[in-house]
């Protein structure tokens, strides 16, 4: 019978402890495993988020660029319609014509379309126009373009109301045109992504200069017309003055020389001869040219009665131009 000696027992215990040490040294702690797992999960999540962010950013950027390209097409088409409508005008007065086919109608339509584009691109379309330099300059250009069209509308209203008296009355249009041109050029410089695939016609930026030419021609014509009208009114005034001088002298023969045939038929020489009040003065107070063949003038006669009383007689003269170019009195009634 073999028995375990104390020496053998001690030896086994030592061996067991050594084995346990080795086992503990080679076994990974639970905390280490957990940390490893967490790191792995984080890596996977970060990768997924990065992919998701990249996909969405790229998608939004692509959609935004596509949206801008589409809306730029609207701007280009509307601008072409505007320049085509302007090309049909021959003079400043044509700008003030009204109707569905008028330049003003096309102008208002273009203005509305540009406002719609600005609204769609900045907010409604989900693509903010303040994101980068190009988009910011596109906003500036649209703002300047709309302001320019608004001023063009004011010029048309001034023309319709005969309120354009000098070339300086349209200075604001030229100033806004220059500003719009600068904004457009800056936009082209910033278009690194070649979003603008249809450049605007340079005819747009030449309109203000052509309007200026229209207005200058209009003002020159108005001056010529005014000078001609003044000449006609002066001639009519001279006829009425000569008639009244004959009237004051009771020269009925001379008076007939200044009357139309219709007025001469109603002329009563006896009434002139029997006039008891003495005409002391005759003054023209207003002369109006109503047409190429008709002028009206207001005059005041100052008379003195035989008993020394001064009275005033206001007269309305209607003058008609004859085929030979002379002005004659058709009526001279009291008013």
Number of domains observed in the structure of the chain: 2
d(CA 265, CA 4): 172
Domain contains 8: no
Stretch 279-301: mean pLDDT: 96
Alpha-carbon distance of 272 to 269, in angstroms, equals: 5
pLDDT of amino acid 32: 61
Determine, yes or no, domain membership for 260.
yes
Read off the pLDDT of residues 131-144 as tens digits, 9 standing for 90 and up.
589 989 999 999 99
Domain that includes residue 275, residue range? 231-334
Residue 290 has pLDDT above 60, yes or no: yes
Q: Burial level of 236, CB count in 10 A (0-12/13-18/19+)? A: buried
The pLDDT of 57-83, averaged and rounded, is 76
As a whole number of angstroms, the distance between CA 34 and CA 97 comes to 84
Question: Are 57 and 190 part of one and the same domain?
Answer: yes
At residue 297 the predicted structure's pLDDT band, cuts being 50, 70 and 90, is very high
Contact status, residue 87 vs residue 48, Cβ threshold 8 Å: no
Q: Is 4 helix (H, G, I), strand (E, B) or coil?
A: coil
- 142 and 243 part of one domain: no
Backbone angles phi, psi at 251, to 5 degrees: -95, 90
Say yes or no: 239 and 313 in one domain.
yes
Residue 60 has pLDDT above 60, yes or no: no
Which of 182, 201, 220 is at the close of a domain?
Answer: 201
**How far is the C-alpha of 126 from the C-alpha of 80, rounded, in Å?**
28
The answer to whether residue 156 sits within a structural domain is: yes
């Amino acid at each position: 019978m073999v028995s375990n000696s104390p020496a053998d027992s001690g030896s086994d215990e030592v061996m067991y402890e050594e084995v346990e040490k080795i086992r503990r040294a080679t076994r990974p702690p639970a905390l280490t495993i957990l940390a490893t797992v967490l790191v792995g999960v984080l890596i996977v999540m970060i990768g997924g988020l990065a992919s998701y962010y990249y996909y969405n950013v790229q998608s939004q950027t692509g959609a935004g660029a596509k949206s801008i390209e589409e809306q730029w097409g609207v701007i280009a088409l509307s601008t072409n319609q505007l320049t085509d409508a302007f090309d049909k005008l021959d003079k400043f007065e044509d700008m003030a014509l009204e109707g569905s086919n008028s330049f003003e109608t096309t102008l208002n339509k273009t203005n509305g379309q540009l406002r719609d584009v600005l609204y769609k691109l900045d907010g409604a379309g989900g693509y903010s126009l303040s994101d980068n330099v190009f988009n910011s300059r596109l906003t500036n250009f649209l703002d300047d373009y709309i302001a320019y069209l608004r001023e063009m509308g004011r010029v048309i209203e001034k023309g319709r109301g005969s309120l354009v008296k000098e070339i300086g009355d349209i200075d604001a249009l030229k100033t806004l045109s220059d500003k719009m041109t600068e904004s457009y050029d800056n936009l082209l410089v910033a278009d690194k992504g070649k979003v603008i695939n249809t450049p605007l016609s340079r005819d747009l930026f030449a309109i203000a200069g052509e309007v200026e030419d229209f207005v200058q021609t209009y003002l020159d014509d108005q001056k010529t017309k005014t000078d001609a009208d003044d000449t006609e009114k002066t001639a009519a005034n001279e006829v009425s003055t000569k008639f009244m001088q004959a009237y004051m002298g009771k020269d009925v023969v001379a008076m007939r020389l200044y009357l139309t045939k219709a007025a001469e038929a109603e002329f009563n020489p006896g009434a002139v001869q029997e006039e008891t009040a003495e005409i002391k003065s005759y003054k023209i107070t207003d002369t109006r040219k109503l047409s190429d063949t008709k002028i009206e003038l207001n005059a005041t006669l100052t008379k003195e009665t035989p008993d020394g009383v001064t009275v005033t007689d206001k007269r309305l003269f209607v003058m008609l131009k004859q085929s030979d170019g002379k002005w004659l009195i058709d009526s001279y009634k009291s008013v």
